[in-house]
Amino acid sequence: MPAVFGDFLAAGTEHLEAAVVVGDGQVTQLPEVAWGLHQLVVVMSHYLDDLAPYDEIEASGRADLHAWERVVIDADAALHAAADHLRQMAEQFGGHADPAASWRARHLAGAATQLTAGRDLLHSHLATGLNGVTRGRSEWALVVTSLPVTRALASEIARWSGQLAPFTAWLAGSAMTHSPRLMPGQATAAAIYDGLASASQWLQVAGTAVLPAAYADPAPAADTELLRAIPAAMVPRRLRPGVAEESVTDLCHGIAVSATRLRAAVRGSPERAAWSPGATSGGWQWMAQAAAITSHLSELTLRSLATRAGQLPVAPAAAAQLHDAAGRLVPMRDAWRHVDQSWDNLITESRLLQTPVMTEASDLLLRMGRLVWDNPHWTPARADRGPQRLPAMLAPGTDAINDVLAAAHQAIDAISCVAMADLKAVAAADRAGRLYVPTRLLSDEDNVPRRFATAPLAQFRTLQDAYRAALDASAGARLALDEIAVAARTPSMTLALARAAAAVQSRRRAWPYNDNLIDLPPYHSPFRNSRASTGGAGPLERAIKDQQVSDPVIVLRAVAIDNAAERLMEQADATPTASGPPERRENWQRAVRRAALLADESFPLSPVTRPPTDTQRIRPDNQPSPPAISRPSSPSKHSGRRSG
């Protein structure tokens, strides 16, 4: 698995604690130590630069700053002042010095290096474009910019400042006492003393700056836990399910890897849906089937864990809680099944292609199946089925219960991400005019002289509603698993903490970031925005945050209510009215699109691609492609586009 921020934080802390040990003796090699100290403080100030929403001057006129935003600005200013004093003092020694000369300097340099690497790790989730706009590169981006991570980072930097302040004061005293021996060249004892003493005071300021915020909005231990768990923005290598039998532990690990890869694979799929031949009705439908099966397998897993939890004297999760979570997976499975059925009469112009999303979902499904069924060679085929694994074999002890629970949590979390991505993707595909219906499946009244027609609006609406229901059901199941995972402290609890944290963003300088936007409807209502659809805060979430409440559970509830409110508004939209503006607008858009398509002579000959060689037992089925049909002999025959 990739490195996590905690690795660098721990290594840096080790160096820091070794460097600041103050014995009875005096410092030797002061120029090298002072330079190392300067470098470390500079890196610390860079962290706070990243976190600060405004500079000191901009912030002075604002009354709307969160306590932690104010802390970051104040501590940042203090660290800059400390760094300035240290730089000026270091220049007295002639600038850069070799840290190798002193063990203390080596430790300070080591701490700076580790902190720099940690900062690089956090930045690996963000990318700044040529236009200066920063965007997320992974699902962790919104965690990196969240208020809980800001709180945790500010607290860590303050802690470091607090440790460095007395050490720097000690250095100052040491410089005064032993200046003739320690200071070469033109440096004067008074200047060195002043520089170090001032730096010490500013470090003390930076260290104590957090106190007001820590009092007003204490940082829970979960913040630090989450900060430490942030991984580098890299996707783990695929663990291809092989013929060799995998233990339950291996299966759980493989499921976590596939889930991570699946979450990464769906990023950007809504954008690709408008144009990519790889985005096909067959692919979406297959994914809905795989999601339904994964939900089903996860339900069986949780029921088995519930049985096992009831057998053990002490279990990390209560049997009733596990049964309840399993119950949440039933509507999830049914909702995905409905998505599958909603695709029955819809096609896209390109054939089914095996996509990375399908590959990862296949791996996930296969391992979930092998977790549930006691057959190491299980596949969805009837011939490869097996008896259900006994609860005691699935999870012999409490650790195993946690591992298996984490696997189910990972799987459901990944499927929820797919629901969100596919909901947006099908909307994009429809806007791009890529959804069709075979004419055979239309009623006799629809006189269409072609073998396929633009998908009727009602059918697209049904599909979209099915996806929304699947998203809601998946999010509900995920929330239930989030709660159990946090309570049981499973390896996957970071997913829950990350999601809660991402819902509470802290402002950043030059950060018009919104990674998850889809087109907002042109008609406005506060309830038409929710985190589920826009990635931004909905009305209730904003109201909660305006009250400076950052309790993750309260914020998560606000997010859920916003999502539900938006769904309700959309259901209201679908209710027939005499003059519903959205419906009318959409029909008009479809009419325009049809006109454009009529002019498009090339349609039936757009990309025809063959599915790749079948290398897996689980694979989606091939789907017929409209492009295989020959072009009409006369342009006049193109006039058969169906009205929406």
Partner 1 sequence: MAVEQADLLERRLRDAVGVVGVLAAGWEIFEFAAAVAAVGAGQAADLYPAFTFARGSAVSGRNAIALAPSLPARILAPAEGPALAADEADETADAIARLAAVLSERLREAARFAADPNDQAACQDAARNAARICELLAGGM
Residues in touch with partner 1 (CB under 8 A): 282, 285-286, 289, 292-293, 296-297, 300, 337, 340-341, 343-344, 347, 352, 365, 369, 373, 380-383, 385-386, 388, 438-441, 451-452, 618, 620-626, 628-630
Q: How far is the CB of 437 from partner 1 (least distance, A)?
A: 9
Identify which of residues 290 and 485 has a Cβ nearer to partner 1 in the complex: 290
Strand partners, 505: 146
Q: How far apart are CA 464 and CA 458, in angstroms?
A: 10
Query: Which of residues 231 and 604 has its CB atom nearest to partner 1 in the complex?
Result: 604
Calculate Rg over the CA atoms of the chain. 29
Cβ proximity to partner 1, 347 vs 371, nearer residue: 347
Comparing C-alpha atoms, which of 522, 517, 509 is closest to residue 585?
A: 522
- CB-based contact 536:502 (threshold 8 Å): no
CA distances from 12 to 93, 111, 253, 604 (A): 26, 4, 29, 61
Query: Closest separation between CB of residue 327 and partner 1, Å?
Result: 15
Task: Write down the least CB distance from residue 617 to partner 1, Å.
Answer: 9
Angle between helices 457-488 and 493-502 (to 10 degrees): 120
- Count Cβ atoms below 10 Å from residue 452 Cβ, excluding itself: 22
In the complex with partner 1, which residue's Cβ is closer, 153 or 618?
618
What is the C-alpha separation between 203 and 159, in angstroms, rounded?
Answer: 10
Pairing between β-strand 134-136 and β-strand 436-438 as defined by DSSP bridges: unpaired
Token code pair at residue 569: 């508004």
* C-beta of 78 vs 352, nearer to partner 1: 352
Query: Please, what is the minimum distance in Å from the beta carbon of residue 244 to partner 1?
Result: 21
Q: Which helix (H) or strand (E) holds 436?
A: strand 436-438
Q: Are 336 and 463 in contact (CB under 8 A)?
A: no
With tokens 């305006």, the residue in question is: 546
Closest distance between partner 1 and the C-beta of residue 370, in Å?
A: 12
Specify the DSSP class assigned to residue 252: H
Q: In DSSP terms, which residues pair with 135 in a beta bridge?
A: 127
User: Which of 98, 245 has the CB closer to partner 1?
Assistant: 245
> Residue 36 or 620: which CB sits closer to partner 1?
620
- Rounded least distance, CB 247 to partner 1, Å: 22
Minimum distance of partner 1 from residue 409's CB (angstroms): 21
Q: Least distance from C-beta 626 to partner 1, angstroms?
A: 6
Fill in the amino acid letter for 402: N
CA-CA-CA-CA torsion sign (421, 424, 426, 431): negative
Nearer to partner 1, 437 or 532 (CB): 437
Q: SS3 of 437, please? A: strand
Q: What angle do CA 114, 119, 124 make, to 5 degrees?
A: 125
Nearer to partner 1, 296 or 545 (CB): 296
* Contact by Cβ (8 Å): 393, 238: no
Q: Which residues contact 223 (CB under 8 A, 6 or more apart)?
A: 148, 149, 151, 152, 155, 501
Minimum distance from residue 241 beta carbon to partner 1 (Å): 15
When the beta carbons of 26 and 388 are compared against partner 1, the nearer one is 388
Q: Please name the residue that has the structure tokens 């509900």.
A: 476
Q: At its nearest, how many Å lie between partner 1 and the CB of residue 340? A: 7
Instruction: Between 161 and 281, name the residue whose CB sits nearer to partner 1.
Output: 281
Separation of CA 215 from chain center? 29
389 close to 374: Cβ distance less than 8 angstroms: yes
User: Minimum distance between the CB of residue 386 and partner 1, rounded to whole angstroms?
Assistant: 7
**Please, which residue, 290 or 475, has the CB nearer to partner 1?**
290
What is the nearest approach in angstroms of partner 1 to the Cβ of residue 285?
6
Q: What is the largest CA-CA distance in the chain?
A: 103
As measured in angstroms, the least distance from the Cβ of 625 to partner 1 is 8
Q: DSSP of 112-139, one letter per residue?
A: HHHHHHHHHHHHTTEEE-TTS-EEESST
Contact at 8 Å (CB) between 502 and 142? yes
CA-to-CA separations, 333 to 293, 330, 361, 422, in angstroms, rounded: 7, 5, 15, 16
Residue closer to partner 1 by CB (options 577, 622) is 622
Residue 256: which H helix or E strand, with range?
A: helix 248-266
